[in-house]
Structure 1
Amino acid sequence: MTFWGNVSLGFTYLSPVVGIYSLFAMSLGYGGPPMIWALVIVGFGQWLVACVFGEVVSNYPVAGGVYPWSRRLWGRKWGWMNGWIYLVALLVTIASVSYGAGTYIAPLLGLEATPGITVTCAIALIILATLLNLRGTKLLSVVAMIGLLAELGGAIVVGVWLLIFSRHHDLSILFNSFGAGEGKPYFFAFAAAALIGIYMYYGFEACGDVAEEIKNPGVRVPKAMRMTIYIGGAAGFFITLSLLMATPDIGAVVRGEVADPVSEILSAGFGPVGYKIVLIVVLISFVSCVLSLQAAASRLAYSMARDGILPGSAALARISSVRHVPVVALLVAGVVPILVVLLSLASADALTYIISFAALGMYMGFHMVVLAALRARLKGWKPAGKFAMGAWGLPVNILALAWGILGMINMVVPHSPTGVWVTDWITLLSALAVVAIGLVYMVIAKPYLKGNAPAGDAIPAAARA
């Protein structure tokens, strides 16, 4: 995989089109147009995390990302739990993104987005991504690059068109809440709206998941992670700006009178034919996003299985001699999300409960690494990779962890309480359930004792003793 192929993998995983288009209505409804500044704030916070990850991956450029990093920084148990949480989060996110794509695929095909059609489209998307991934890393790199170009090109073309031909406001609206959050301090409305940034700005860690498939990863992967933040953040900001300026009645969205402003904006701005062309670009974004998510999940499963700590490790760690990819791990990254999507046919609530864990699980996986890195620093770890922050390492690490804790609190706190505590706290409850299952398996099967891969060796021997 080339450097730009690596950037494309991270970018299409982050996918500003998927993130912004999916959450624009919710965020605008919560906080009004000033919600756009959340993209800047969250982008900075995640840049801090990317810098910490850059130092870690430069030291340990191995497949699997968060699992081997946390294992080397802290130890076997921490590595197992981080790998477990993140693997579940990735598999659930694949299902979530694929299910969300159904609302765009259906109108493109001239169909009504019924539950059955949405599930069928989601399954077809997962199967397509799996088949593409099974063809090998080179094709993954090419498709990711196509996804990056299509998404960036589409974002620029659509954004410029809307700003020129469908603009209804000037830049002053970016400081006008249009009544959002009335009756309580605006901070709370902005915090809820900030979820659009929190849910968008992850994916850059995927650059490190394929570290063993890149030349000179100690230099290229940290740079690719930061480049993903820069390009993805700029694209996300521009998409959001153009949509805000093209929203005819922002107040109606804030009051909840317009449920799907994105479709209305695109349909009015481009007409029936142009709207379908835009949907094709959006569909490419969804395909490349699922493709990148699957690649990350399969490399994580492979990395854990290579150390013998997953059920069926022998099969999961097997590499195709022809395509040089973990075939069984990729199939698992296809089958499990399909099963999750099928749950919606039995119970829409069941699907909601499961995918509510997705983004929080990502952040938990991130910041278990950030916390492990901070602990290792305080015990004497000195990053010795080709990317190092030197004296800035400790303060950046502390700020990154503080940012992550605030972000996770914002994700679990109910911003629109219903009065039903299970519904209000489902994100936290689902996370606790995943952690509990992992702990039970860890106590019973003791998977962390298997394998002889290095663990906890970032900390100097004297400190470990």
Structure 2
Amino acid sequence: MSSSNLNSYLRVEANNFQGWNLIDIDDEVFNYNGYNGDNVEEGSDRDDVEEQVEMNLQRELLLSFGEQLDMESLMRVVEDGAGGEYFPLRNLEEHEQENDIGSGDDARLKQLGYKRELSRSLSAIANFSVTFSIISILTGLTTLYNTGLTYGGPLTMIWGWPVVGLFTMTVGLSMAEICSAYPTSGGLYFWSAKLCGNRWGPLASWFTGWFNIVGQWAVTASIDFSLAQMIQVIILLSTGGKNGGGYEASKYVVIGLYGGILLLHALMNSLPISVLSFFGQLAAAWNLVGVTVLMILIPTVTTERASAKFVFTHFNTDNGDGIGNKAYIFFLGLLMSQYTFTGYDASAHMTEETRNADKNGPKGIISSIGISIIFGWGYLLGITFAVTDIPYLLSEDNDSGGYAIAEIFYMAFKNRYGSGVGGIVCLGVVAVGIFFCGMSSVTSNSRMAYAFSRDGAMPFSSLWHKVNKQEVPINAVWFSAFISFCMALTYLGSEVAFQAMVSIATIGLYIAYAFPIFFRVTLARKSFIPGPFNLGSYGILVGWISVLWVATISVLFSLPVAYPITSETLNYTPVAVCGLLVLTVSSWILSARHWFKDHRVILTEVVGVAVGFGGFQKRQQRIFHFKACRVDEVECKNLVSDGWAETGVCSDMRGVVSKDLLIGRVSFRFVSFSKRVLDNGSW
């Protein structure tokens, strides 16, 4: 078969695949080097070559393609000398039936290098519900209301909330734009990898991923620990309060409650995603209804209401823990709002389980932030209208032991009805909201752990990314719960140590949020290809605002929160962040830089192999050379043996996985095509 006839044959064979266009398959692609079917000499040299070919091809190609490969057909091609022939690995119609995706979601996931392993059954509402219940107004604003009262009081809370909400929305918009382009469970770290390209992608991905996952573990720990403390306060008030001989739980009891809560959350997250979706939507409804009821009920029941002037203009400096500067106090008071606005990356981590992920993932991020801004402001207004004596609410000598909102609820009902039972019931409403928040946090955390381990970034990665028959990453669920539990054990030794551990929840997450946004507006400013949701010409401006905001809060929340500074009053946030940074840098330098390559390309849509007979070569060595190209990029990476090697550019190999096998003096190239790429008619 001449080379011209060979090319014609290949194009004819290609046309049999229902419109696939292999475009200009030529000698250069298949490395013929002058072979025309007639110039290979008969004799021992050829026999030796064929023997080597048969042994090595069976070994190497079976390792690569497994049972998909029709080895008998391949060997017939080699033995007949019909180099350059193209044939399917299996019947195309059967292949399409077995791999029918029904929508573009799984096709896009495969373009990004992954196969679908999780059940894709979440709707837009379900995706939103997970994120909204993690932001959880009932959780953040209730548990940190003391912080708002201490640092500035009503003015800081009422006006700080919309300010923080506005800047948070810019961060959310930037994340939503990137999420639409890259809808994967990995979220932030995967985005960083794609936006930085092959040279810096692995490093950026490593740092982003570890800040993200450690921040998520800290968030889960702080949420569930807050619930344990809330239950302790409910028990205290139910048994008479601090001034009435009520029961005050020890540290060990609180840790026991915390462990029980985490256990329940792990069990719930072990259920099929359809069941978890129901709980997620119930959680969102509970938060919305609960906030609405409480922001109306509490100011209605209380017998002493604050004036509008007090609520909107009173600036509390009397309880600033030794800080006299008003601006300093105001900025510290923003921590209450900023802590609440965390966890909205959950919509991204759930995209592999969400239908129309490139649209509904971004919607989940933006809508959860927007609705939280509105309802959160209403909740703050309603509760703050019931505040008249700030020093008393913050005093550890009141019935709740200094838990401000618990005291507000309790005294509102006690002063009007002579009993605080109604206030305890209201605290129960909050506690259920916090419980749902923790449940959703474990959901998001486990998906991040699943994705990060899928790319080999975590110790024992092969264990954590396994899914069960219900397509739930169950090992990642229990692993995440275990790590969060271990974080809280530091509370038994020192409350300061525990605060240092969980202080990374806000700053650690926001640093992870900022990484891909920064890369989007710098390295990928011109190369970024947006998805269905995009900010257009405003993307760069919004991105820079987001990055500057994260930089600002990272500095502010690392400043001392009390004077004089002692071991008990020191803000351990910078210590925790620097500790994580040191560990991340060290692990990269000592180990990860040698093997971590941002994400593993997993191409399962292998539907054909093109075989090129190369003729005699000058090189005598045996080399197995693997070139893996990402489906959606023209850049590719070269694999030599089983390790990552140098990066190259394969402008004519887009979306193709090729294997060059040099055996003796004969060169073969095996090229497998992704159906998605061939449908697009280009490489």
What is the TM-score normalised by the length of structure 2?
0.64
- Letter in structure 1 aligned against 2:452: M
Report if the CA contact (8 A) 1:106-1:113 is conserved.
yes
Amino acid at match of 2:455: D
Of the structure 1 ranges 366-375 and 209-218, higher mean CA displacement relative to structure 2 is found in 366-375
Q: Kindly indicate whether residue 485 of structure 2 is the aligned counterpart of residue 338 of structure 1.
A: yes
Whole-angstrom CA distance in 2 between matches of 1:201 and 1:122? 23
Answering whether residue 422 of structure 2 is matched by residue 279 of structure 1, we say no
2:204 aligns with: 78
Alpha carbons 2:191, 2:516 under 8 Å: kept = yes
1:312–1:277 Cα change, 3 Å: same
Q: Confirm or deny that 1:356 pairs with 2:482.
A: no
On the 8 A contact 1:76/1:456 being kept in 2, the answer is: no
Q: Quick one: which of 294, 298, 305 aligns to 1:168?
A: 305
Deviates more, 1:42-51 or 1:225-234: 225-234
The partner residue of 2:221 within 70, 95, 99 is 95
User: Which whole-Å deviations, capped at 9, do the CAs of 1:362-418 have from their partners, x for residues lacking one?
Assistant: 11111112212112343x123320001111111111111111111111111113133
Alignment of 1:66-145 (within 5 A): 66-74=188-196, 75-109=201-235, 110=238, 111-145=247-281
Once residues 213 and 199 of structure 1 are traced to their aligned partners in structure 2, the CA distance between those partners, rounded to angstroms, is 27
Q: Could you say what secondary structure the match of 2:227 adopts?
A: helix
The AA in structure 2 aligned to 1:11 is F
**Retained in 2: the 8 A contact 1:102–1:113?**
no
Match of 1:153 in 2: 289
What's the counterpart of residue 523 of structure 2? 376
Q: Look up the equivalent residue of 1:263 and give its one-letter code.
A: A
Q: 1:236 aligns with which of 376, 386, 405?
A: 376
Counterpart residue type for residue 341 of structure 1: A
The AA in structure 2 aligned to 1:91 is W
**Equivalent position of 1:267 in the other structure:** 410
For 2:123 and 2:541, the matched residues in 1 are separated by 32
Q: Is 2:487 aligned against 1:300?
A: no
Query: Given the alignment of the two structures, is residue 212 of structure 1 paired with residue 352 of structure 2, yes or no?
Result: yes
Q: Which residue of 2 aligns with 1:222?
A: 362
Provide the residue aligned with 1:202 in structure 2. 342
Determine whether 1:29 maps to 2:150. yes
Given that 1:73 and 1:458 are in contact with CA atoms closer than 8 Å, whether structure 2 keeps it comes out as no
Residue pair 1:304, 1:310 contacting (<8 A) in 2 also:
yes
2:643 is aligned to: none
Gaps of 5+ in 1: none
Distance 2:523 2:598 in 1: 23
Q: What are the residue-to-residue correspondences of 1:397-416 with 2, within 5 Å?
A: 397-416=543-562
1 or 2, which has the higher strand percentage? Answer: 2
Flag the 1:305–1:341 CA change in 2: closer, same or farther, 3 A: same
C-alpha deviation, 1:13, in angstroms: 0.8
Q: Which AA in structure 2 matches 1:383?
A: I
**Aligned-residue offset at 1:195:** 0.9
The CA deviation at 1:151 is 1.7
| Amino acid across the alignment from 2:445 | A
Preserved CA contact (<8 Å) 2:179 2:348: yes
Q: 2:129, 2:284 within 8 Å by CA — same for their partners in 1?
A: yes
- SS of 2:596 mapped into structure 1: helix
Q: Which amino acid aligns with 2:547?
A: L
1:48 Cα deviation after fit: 0.3
Query: Per-residue CA shift, 1:102-151, capped at 9, x if unaligned?
Result: 12213445552321221111111100000000002222221121111112
Q: Which residue of 2 aligns with 1:426?
A: 572
Indicate conservation of the 8 Å contact 1:72/1:456, yes or no.
no
**For residues 500 and 478 of structure 2, what CA distance do their matches in structure 1 show?**
24
Structure 2: gaps of 5 or more residues: 1-121, 239-246, 414-418, 603-628, 637-647, 650-683
State the one-letter code of the partner of 2:138: V
Instruction: Output the CA distance in 2 between the equivalents of 1:450 and 1:233.
Output: 35
**1:276: how far off?**
3.0
- SS at the partner of 2:527? coil
- Write the deviation string for residues 131-174 of structure 1: whole angstroms up to 9, x where unpaired: 00000222222112111111221111111012223251222121
- How many residue pairs are counted as aligned between the two chains? 462
Mapped partners of 1:351, 1:255: distance in 2 = 22
Q: 1:67·1:300 contact (CA, 8 Å) conserved in 2?
A: no
- Once the two structures are superposed, what CA deviation does each residue of 1:207-226 show, in whole Å capped at 9, x if it has no partner? 11110101111111111111
Residues 1:107 and 1:404: Cα distance change in structure 2 (over 3 Å) = closer
Tell me the alpha carbon deviations over residues 289-326 of structure 1, each in whole angstroms, 9 at most, x when there is no partner. Answer: 111111111111111111122111111111112x2111
Change (3 A) 1:283 1:458: farther
> What's the counterpart of residue 47 of structure 2?
none
CA contact (8 A) 2:463 2:475 kept: yes
1:424 alignment partner, SS class: coil
Cα shift at 1:425: 4.4
- Please tell me whether the aligned partners of residues 155 and 313 of structure 2 are also in contact (alpha carbons under 8 angstroms): yes
1:177 is matched with which residue?
315
Change (3 A) 1:255 1:101: closer
- Name the larger-Rg structure: 2
The separation in 2 between residues aligned to 1:420 and 1:153, in whole angstroms, is 42
Q: CA contact under 8 A between 1:159 and 1:238: conserved in structure 2?
A: yes
Give the direction of change, closer, same or farther, for the CA distance of 1:183–1:316 in structure 2 (3 Å limit): closer
- From 309, 312, 321, give the equivalent of 2:460: 312
Distance 1:97 1:42 in 2: 20
Task: Tell me by how many angstroms 1:459 deviates.
Answer: 9.2
For residues 300 and 67 of structure 1, the distance between their equivalents in structure 2, rounded to whole angstroms, comes to 9
CA 265–310 in structure 1, closer or farther in 2 if over 3 Å, else same? same
Q: What is the identity, as a one-letter code, of the residue corresponding to 1:311?
A: P
In the alignment, the residues of structure 1 paired with residue 299 and residue 421 of structure 2 have an alpha-carbon distance, to the nearest angstrom, of 19
